[in-house]
């Protein structure tokens, strides 16, 4: 990503897991992010994805009612501020893993976040997105579907605090990891995340029509 960011002709850097499959082009989504002046785009469940194993609310929310985030894909603007955001997120993910072992209030808080968001990177993303006010994650409009601006301390020596604009994209568009009711990919899927038992069963049979 750092090598790509040296190219000023690149507008966005896309970071994704290795178990993801491109289904169809999504340049129109990048154009939308450009128009909205978004620096960081992430995936979340918006309550519309239907699955055979549960209700739409069970898919979209954690046990405590937080909006579920889907890890594995980030779209970052090709800028120094976005790279600093990424470094901050990475550091916070490491902090999550370190503090979860502590037998104190801080350790319990991180353990609770890990339990809710099912992973250190997603817990760190929720914390960073809300600037520590995680209760905001109970409101999809406030946390995800609207452009949200956060302020971070610069990682550069003598640098000034800077702002980053974040926006959630419904996971069924660029990060669809769920099983389907009829075995067919939804028309909304542009990138699918090949994880879980359903995909392990489907892929060997080649049933992707």
pLDDT attached to residue 105: 81
pLDDT attached to residue 106: 80
Q: Where are the beta strands (DSSP E) in the chain?
A: 12-16, 20-22, 40-44, 69-77, 148-152, 162-170, 191-193
**Residue 152: exposed, middle, or buried by beta-carbon count in 10 A (0-12, 13-18, 19+)?**
middle
pLDDT attached to residue 1: 43
Q: What share of the chain is helix, strand, coil (3-state, %, to 5)?
A: 40, 20, 40
pLDDT attached to residue 200: 64
Return d(Cα 43, Cα 97) in angstroms, integer.
22
Say what percent of the chain tops pLDDT 90: 64
Averaged pLDDT, 186-203: 79
Using the predicted structure, report yes or no on whether residue 116 has a pLDDT greater than 70: yes
pLDDT attached to residue 203: 61
Return d(Cα 124, Cα 88) in angstroms, integer.
10
CB 78 within 8 A of CB 38: no
Averaged pLDDT, 85-102: 88
DSSP conformational letter for 196? S
pLDDT, one tens digit per residue, over 139-184 is 999 999 999 999 999 988 888 999 999 999 999 999 998 888 887 8
Nearest to 91 by CA among 117, 124, 115: 124
pLDDT attached to residue 130: 97
pLDDT attached to residue 99: 79
Q: Is 106 left (phi over 0), alpha (psi -120 to 50) or beta?
A: alpha
CB 149 within 8 A of CB 165: yes
Nearest to 118 by CA among 62, 43, 196: 62
Whole-structure pTM value: 0.87
pLDDT attached to residue 6: 58
Strand pairing partners for 149?
Answer: 165
pLDDT, one tens digit per residue, over 34-51 is 999 999 999 999 999 999
Return d(Cα 63, Cα 68) in angstroms, integer.
10
CB 93 within 8 A of CB 121: yes
pLDDT attached to residue 45: 96
E strand or H helix that includes residue 73: strand 69-77
């Amino acid at each position: 990503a750092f090598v790509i960011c040296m190219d000023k002709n690149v507008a966005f850097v896309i970071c994704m897991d290795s178990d993801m499959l491109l289904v169809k082009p999504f340049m129109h989504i990048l154009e939308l992010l450009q128009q909205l002046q978004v620096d960081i785009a992430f995936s979340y469940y918006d309550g519309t994805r239907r699955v055979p194993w549960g209700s739409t609310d069970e898919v979209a929310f954690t046990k405590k009612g937080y909006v579920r985030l889907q890890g594995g894909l980030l779209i970052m603007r090709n800028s120094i501020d976005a790279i600093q955001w990424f470094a901050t997120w990475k550091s916070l993910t490491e902090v999550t893993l370190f503090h979860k072992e502590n037998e104190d209030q801080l350790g319990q808080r991180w353990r609770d976040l890990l339990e809710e968001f099912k992973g250190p990177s997603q817990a760190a993303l929720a914390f960073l997105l809300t600037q520590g006010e995680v209760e905001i994650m109970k409101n999809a409009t406030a946390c995800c579907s609207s452009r949200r601006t956060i302020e971070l301390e610069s990682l550069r020596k003598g640098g000034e605090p800077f702002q980053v604009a974040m926006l959630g994209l419904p996971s069924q568009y660029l990060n669809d990891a769920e099983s389907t009711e009829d075995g067919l990919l939804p028309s909304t899927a542009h990138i699918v995340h090949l994880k879980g038992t359903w995909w392990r069963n489907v892929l060997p049979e080649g049933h992707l029509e």
